[in-house]
Amino acid sequence: MTETLRIEPGQLTLSDLRRIYYSAIPIEMSENAWKQVARSRSTVESVIERGGTAYGINTGFGRLAQTRIDDEQLGELQTNLVLSHATGVGDLLDDDTVRLILLLKINALGRGYSGVSRQVLDLLIAMYNRGLYPAVPAKGSVGASGDLAPLAHLSLPLIGRGQIRADGGLMDSVTALEKAGLRPIDLAAKDGLGLLNGTQVSTALALKGLFQGERNLDAAFVAGSITVEAALGSRVPFDETINAIRGHRGQIEAARIYRSLLGPSEIGRSHTNCDRVQDPYSMRCQPQVMGACLDQMTNAAACLETEANAVSDNPLVLSDRGEILSGGNFHAEPVAMASDNLALAIAEIGALSERRTALLIDSSLSQLPPFLVDDAGLNSGFMVAQVTAAALASENKSLAHPASVDSLPTSANQEDHVSMATYAARRLTEMNENTRYILAVELLAAAQGIDLRRPMRSNDAIERAFRTIRNTVPKWEQDRYFQPDLEAVSKLIGDGAFGEWISGYLGTNA
């Protein structure tokens, strides 16, 4: 029987979010949440009945907030808002990301501070559970007032507009809803604004970047460990005391992971009395660099878990006070900064990996055949694979430039400072892909190095990782078409084939 995740709005954990991103788990809302939604809705209706004025409920939007809207036009106002704000462009967001956006929007509205009618949440939950994912273009949000354009596209199917992706194909929303036994709704006062205001798109994209980054960091621990073994590196830099006395939690955890991977081995014992005093930094300083990356990811995870449970629309309905107040929770600066910090970590994971690959192919450093291939000269081996890694590492340097320091005013200077959180989070996908390929190059090179140390054996952990690679890609005996090997190992990384070294750590330390 398929497990159902019962949502108590505001209490989603990082583990919940990770599970939803990777698999379509059915959801339902708690009864307590429905009660709070009803109280919030009742407050909105009371304000309208007594002739009060509230932004976006019976006024225009942005610089048009001073324009009062007649009661009989309030539904039309919300519909017009969705239609006019659906201005996104570019490629469509993938289904996994849209599923996460739907969850975050349901979670936020379910907290009962948005004043939307129950029919909105009923349809959002039904679409989520039936795998009906709105077609959401990736570009067009500056991250304040929330993710207006992409959330408008997310909302279009609720009013029978736009497209839905279902069963792998695109179809018009009315047809898709009808096939699923659903139908569009007529928006009531506040419904459209509650749907469009919020940081759910930028937060979902940042969570995607975090989850992909986790798997890259998992693979980096394994790749770096195999490289230490293949290049006859020292295990001393991973010593518990060395790393503990500096005090950084990420470094301490990283060193622990390396020690678990770099247990005693025949290869390790073969160079016990060698004359090498110290290894290059790309091997020796792995706990310090990867630990710093882990700290950045931990901090970002805490921020994003908080934002995933946040109420980030405007205005907010405070039922216990009978008030509707305007604020600025839609400003996605926390998400932008968290995404910028994730970008630093993702870039550095790749940068250090590329340096280790460069070390492996340099026979003067690794004591392995030049470019990791027999009969070098006739064969080029890993020469240009390292060039690809260098190119991708360089691209990531440019992509890592902070987006949160940028701002362009919008809406006739009413929205005069914006976060750029959506771009900050969206570029993490490209950066993670680059780093995944960089790590694939290193994993292939390091496995080749282990092959070239035969008949000596490594320890069980390294040999298991080695077999994971060799079960997919054979040893490099002579030059062959390289790119399929990169794709195969990149897929292994993306699928989490190299262990879950940090997801539990982030879940408990975020």
Q: State how far the alpha carbon of 413 is from the alpha carbons of 54, 65, 405, 421, 422, in Å.
A: 21, 14, 18, 19, 20
Residues 6+ apart with CB under 8 A from 484: none
Residues 6+ apart with CB under 8 A from 247: none
User: Is 55 known to be catalytic?
Assistant: yes
Burial of 284 (C-beta count, 10 Å sphere; 0-12/13-18/19+) = middle
Catalytic residue, chosen from 21, 22, 55, 113, is 55
Coil, helix or strand at residue 387: helix
Burial 175-201 (b: 16+ CB within 10 A, else e): ebbeebebebbebbbbbbbbbbbbbbb
d(CA 251, CA 249) in angstroms, rounded, equals: 5
Residue 331 phi/psi, 5-degree rounding, is -75, 120
Q: Which residue has the tokens 């986790």?
A: 214
Burial 4-34 (b: 16+ CB within 10 A, else e): eeebebbebebebbbebbeebbebebeeebb
Which residues is 318 bridged to in the sheet? 323
Positions annotated as catalytic residues are 55
